[in-house]
């Protein structure tokens, strides 16, 4: 698996990560200039009522959602970044009647188009065919359990699991490449082995494993522990060695740290030099549709989110509004807004992330830091790793241990005004 631009050295202490796309001949991307992907929350309307929903989805569309013409103008401005990945998210994108038209428009501009519809009957085979014909590259479906019982309980609609499998099958039949998104939470940890097995049977090119951020409908008690995260990271890394699809951990850049640690250990065991790349095996599978994946994407750093009303955020899980496409230029906001530039400078990080030897490759989830502490530059609260320098400071009594550190900062979040 060739990688043109390896990330920073695992023991490096630079403040900004090396960025880049996977795949042969692809130049590295400069995330100060352009995101790797932009997600648009097409609507909050959705027939599901999932327990974790970031959008707290509603049954009906908001009257002030972006119009078709506004969405087209947005796509034109996004093309200024280059042929980035553009994702229709929701709510359920199929609640909008103009998705095929907007797909054709975006693909015509040269954007790489993807969609994550809800697993409902609205995703008909005819609609999938129309999307394919309009230039859609990839379709992602959410599966949050290895069987209907676990998934449907989480999504709170019976039949959602079966629709997910049907949509995957029909999307593949019409020629779309497919991806599964899975939310890792406290009460599906024991299902992860079965999930890994299920993924190998679905014909997908990409498995995006999302580690819950306690916002929207997701509560802190739904989030697995840092140790629970760690166990899933190792399971994913093991799977990545034989999987016929690529695996990505979302809202968990600590996975890059685990990959680096495992590769270093394996190289040491074999008496070889460690592989400097943080991507796991299989990245070429997700290049089949030209979408691929990038290293080191984090909130506001290679990533941008636009709400159904046009508000601009560093990600869908970091609710710090930085502008609105109706009044602000989204390219300028991404490149120059102080929130985006602060997020891209890992020298700004606090707590143990500030002294971590994996900071250039990881940096912790900025969204989870914000959700737990109210400060998007704070340390990642769900990382089991203690950097050697931080351990030294704890031992010297100059900083508190993790439990006391986050207990102090968790109190602060209760004092924040509601957004
Ligand atoms: S301490 Fe922070 S930067 Fe280091 S591995 Fe954990 S989350 Fe990543």
In order of their start, the domains of the chain are: 37-324 (3.20.20.70)
pLDDT at site 291: 53
CA 252 to ligand 1 center in whole angstroms = 10
CA 257 to ligand 1 center in whole angstroms = 7
Rounded to whole angstroms, the Cα distance separating 297 from 335 reads 15
pLDDT at site 10: 27
CA 399 to ligand 1 center in whole angstroms = 16
- Calculate the average pLDDT of the chain: 85
CA 94 to ligand 1 center in whole angstroms = 38
Residues of the chain above pLDDT 70, percent: 84
H/E stretch holding 329: none
Rounded to whole angstroms, the Cα distance separating 365 from 371 reads 10
pLDDT at site 14: 38
pLDDT at residue 16 greater than cutoff 90: no
CA 388 to ligand 1 center in whole angstroms = 11
pLDDT at site 415: 45
CA 326 to ligand 1 center in whole angstroms = 37
Q: Which residues pair with 371 in a beta bridge?
A: none
Q: How confident is the model at residue 414 (pLDDT cuts 50, 70, 90)?
A: very low
**Relative to the CA of 383, which ligand 1 atom is closest?**
6
pTM: 0.87
> Could you tell me the strand order of the sheet in which 138-142 lies?
246-250, 206-211, 177-184, 138-142, 112-115, 85-89, 37-41, 303-306, 311-313, 323-324
Pocket probe mutation, ligand 1, options 257, 372, 391, 399, max atoms within 8 Å of Cβ: 257
In this prediction, residues 276-301 reach a mean pLDDT of 65
Give tens-digit pLDDT for 317-340: 999 999 999 999 999 999 999 999
Cβ count within 10 A of residue 266:
13
**Relative to the CA of 257, which ligand 1 atom is closest?**
5
Residues whose CB is less than 8 angstroms from the CB of residue 119 and which lie 6 or more positions away in sequence, other chains included: 48, 141, 142, 143, 155, 160, 161, 163, 164, 167
More confident residue, 40 or 59: 40
CA 130 to ligand 1 center in whole angstroms = 43
Pocket probe mutation, ligand 1, options 278, 301, 355, 358, max atoms within 8 Å of Cβ: 358
Q: How confident is the model at residue 1 (pLDDT cuts 50, 70, 90)?
A: very low
**Relative to the CA of 362, which ligand 1 atom is closest?**
8
Pocket probe mutation, ligand 1, options 10, 301, 349, 352, max atoms within 8 Å of Cβ: 352
Give tens-digit pLDDT for 295-314: 678 999 999 999 999 999 99
Ligand 1: which residues within 6 Å by Cβ? 254, 257, 352-353, 356, 358-359, 362-364, 379-380, 383, 385, 387
In this prediction, residues 375-397 reach a mean pLDDT of 95
């Amino acid at each position: 698996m060739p990688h043109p631009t390896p990330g920073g050295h695992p023991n490096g202490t630079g403040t900004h990560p090396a960025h880049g796309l996977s795949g042969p001949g692809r130049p590295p991307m400069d995330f100060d200039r352009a995101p790797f992907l932009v997600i648009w929350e097409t609507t909050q309307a959705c027939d599901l009522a999932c327990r974790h929903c970031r959008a707290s989805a509603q049954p009906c569309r908001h009257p002030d959602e972006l119009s078709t013409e506004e969405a087209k103008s947005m796509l034109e401005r996004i093309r200024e970044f280059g042929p980035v990945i553009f994702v229709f998210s929701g709510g359920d994108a199929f609640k909008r009647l103009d998705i095929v038209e907007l797909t054709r428009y975006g693909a015509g501009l040269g954007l790489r188009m993807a969609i994550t519809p809800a697993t409902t009957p609205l995703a008909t085979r005819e609609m999938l065919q129309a999307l394919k014909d309009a230039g859609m590259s990839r379709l992602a479906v959410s599966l949050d359990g290895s069987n209907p019982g676990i998934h449907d309980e989480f999504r709170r609609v019976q039949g959602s699991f079966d629709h997910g499998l049907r949509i995957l099958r029909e999307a593949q039949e019409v020629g779309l490449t497919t991806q599964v998104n899975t939310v890792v939470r406290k009460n599906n940890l024991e299902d992860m082995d079965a999930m890994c097995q299920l993924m190998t049977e679905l014909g997908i090119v990409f498995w995006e494993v999302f580690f819950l951020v306690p916002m929207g409908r997701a509560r802190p008690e739904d989030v697995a522990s840092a140790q629970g995260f760690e166990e899933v990271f190792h399971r994913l890394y093991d799977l990545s060695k034989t999987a016929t699809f690529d695996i990505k951990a979302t809202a968990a850049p600590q996975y890059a740290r685990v990959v680096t640690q495992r590769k270093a250990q394996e190289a040491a065991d074999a008496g070889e030099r460690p592989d400097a790349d943080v991507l796991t095996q299989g990245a070429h599978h997700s290049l089949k549709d030209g979408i691929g994946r990038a290293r080191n994407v984090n909130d506001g750093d290679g990533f941008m989110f636009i709400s159904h009303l046009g508000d601009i955020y560093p990600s869908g899980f970091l609710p710090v509004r930085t502008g609105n496409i109706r009044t602000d230029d989204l390219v300028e906001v991404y490149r120059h807004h102080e929130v985006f530039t602060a997020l891209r400078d890992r020298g700004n990080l606090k707590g143990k992330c500030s002294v971590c030897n994996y900071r250039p490759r990881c940096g912790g989830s900025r969204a989870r830091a914000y959700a737990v502490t109210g400060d998007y530059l704070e340390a990642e609260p769900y990382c089991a790793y203690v950097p050697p320098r931080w351990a030294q400071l704890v031992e010297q009594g100059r900083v508190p241990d993790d439990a006391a550190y986050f207990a102090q900062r968790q109190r602060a979040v209760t004092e924040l005004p509601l957004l």
